[in-house]
Structure 1
Amino acid sequence: MHFLNMFFFDIYPYIAGSVFLIGSWLRYDYGQYTWRAASSQMLDRKGMNLASNLFHIGILGIFAGHFLGMLTPHWMYEAFLPVDVKQKMAMIAGGACGVLTLVGGILLLKRRLFSPRVRATTTGADILILSLLVIQCALGLLTIPFLRPAYGRE
């Protein structure tokens, strides 16, 4: 059990991050013109600004929180920030960013599905990716209430 815990929480995040960065770099170098998303902004702007801004601000906050949370060693903050306070801050800030992302993602998905002009240019992959992001965000938000009892156990 110790090996699985160490693998999934100490080793695997670095493997996943490396595959993401190296894969993105290679895709950009060797398939530069395949790296695009079909824009639907000109087809229907109604609600686009709100949904897109909520989604992207939330995603950037989630990315920054996970990045800082994974790469900041305990010794850097334990002298002035107790672990339970750090966890509470992460849950509140992460929850807020997660809600922004979820609401924005749902609005973008609704627009993709129910706006006739946007729907005409939408591919199955667009809907699949956006649906997976919304589901992943919802699952991440569902973990917050279950983490709450962990305060003070370390």
Structure 2
Amino acid sequence: MLEQLLWVIFPYIAIVVFIFGHIKRYKDDQFHWTAKSSEFIEKKQLKWGSLLFHLGIVPVFFGHVVGLLIPASWLSAIGINDHMYHLGAVYIGSIFGFMTLIGMFLLTYRRISKASVLRLSSASDIIVNIMLLIIVFVGCYATVVTNFTTPEFDYRSTISVWVRGLLTLSPQAELMREVPMSFKIHVLLGFAIIMLWPFTRLVHVWSVPTNYGTRSYILYRKHAPRN
């Protein structure tokens, strides 16, 4: 029963909440769709944290898409064998993973250590930051440590097949039975953040500034006091 709850029921609940939560949020609360800026309060840590996080998270995301959604046989058919995939997933993936981790650490430390930024933050902001930090840390641990201590484990024949089963409505919870604990924690936290996504500042990911390159500049001028 616990196996079905963790690897079938909970993921589907998270996906349903993610979809319908976004619909309701967009319908009822478009005004707060974007994230509140705290750039005027503190810039240095925001600059480096945001830069490292965003440079790292994009290739990490697409790495997850390839690893989880594309069968190994398809990659082999286009000439990417297991050794080549392993080099990319573990070594190159680790570089971008640690970039994301450092960036997320800086952003989280800034949010909880700067009193002015903390006052501007909601409870959901802090929860999301901490959860993302833990998810990225566990992901890096699983990639660097677990992959080397349990070389016989292949997530492409377990977790990846399980994920594709969820998406095709044919879940196989038993595939997660022998998965190492670090990967299990990473997956469960990932679905937890998916479920919370519509109710947090993470919705600003969908607010793509399509007119950014053509919009007018916003100029800020200091007001000179009158004599």
TM-score of the alignment, normalized to the shorter chain, above 0.5: yes
**Partner AA of 1:62 in structure 2:** V
| Separation (CA, whole Å) in 2 of partners of 1:57 and 1:23 | 28
Instruction: Select between 18-27 and 56-65 the one with higher mean Cα deviation.
Output: 18-27
Displacement after TM superposition at 1:97 (Å): 1.7
Displacement after TM superposition at 1:16 (Å): 5.6
Q: Does 1:146 align with 2:146?
A: yes
Displacement after TM superposition at 1:25 (Å): 4.5
Q: Does 1:33 align with 2:31?
A: yes
Q: Does 1:90 align with 2:89?
A: yes
Instruction: Select between 25-34 and 51-60 the one with higher mean Cα deviation.
Output: 25-34
| Separation (CA, whole Å) in 1 of partners of 2:49 and 2:63 | 21
- Using a 3 Å threshold, how does the CA distance of structure 1 residues 94 and 53 change in structure 2: closer, same or farther? same
Report the aligned-residue RMSD. Answer: 3.0
| Separation (CA, whole Å) in 1 of partners of 2:16 and 2:67 | 17
Q: Which has the higher contact order (CA 8 A, sep 6+)?
A: 2
- Using a 3 Å threshold, how does the CA distance of structure 1 residues 118 and 91 change in structure 2: closer, same or farther? same
Displacement after TM superposition at 1:77 (Å): 1.9
Q: Please, what TM-score do these two structures have when normalized by structure 2? A: 0.55
Structure 2 regions of 5+ residues with no counterpart?
158-227
Q: Which residue of 1 aligns with 2:120?
A: 121
**Partner AA of 2:90 in structure 1:** M
Q: Which residue of 2 aligns with 1:131?
A: 130
Q: How many residues align?
A: 148
% identical aligned pairs: 31
Q: Which has the higher helix share?
A: 1
Q: Does 1:44 align with 2:42?
A: yes
Q: Please, what TM-score do these two structures have when normalized by structure 1? A: 0.77
In our comparison, the structure showing a higher alpha carbon Rg is 2
- Using a 3 Å threshold, how does the CA distance of structure 1 residues 68 and 23 change in structure 2: closer, same or farther? farther
Q: Which residue of 2 aligns with 1:64?
A: 62
- Using a 3 Å threshold, how does the CA distance of structure 1 residues 81 and 17 change in structure 2: closer, same or farther? farther
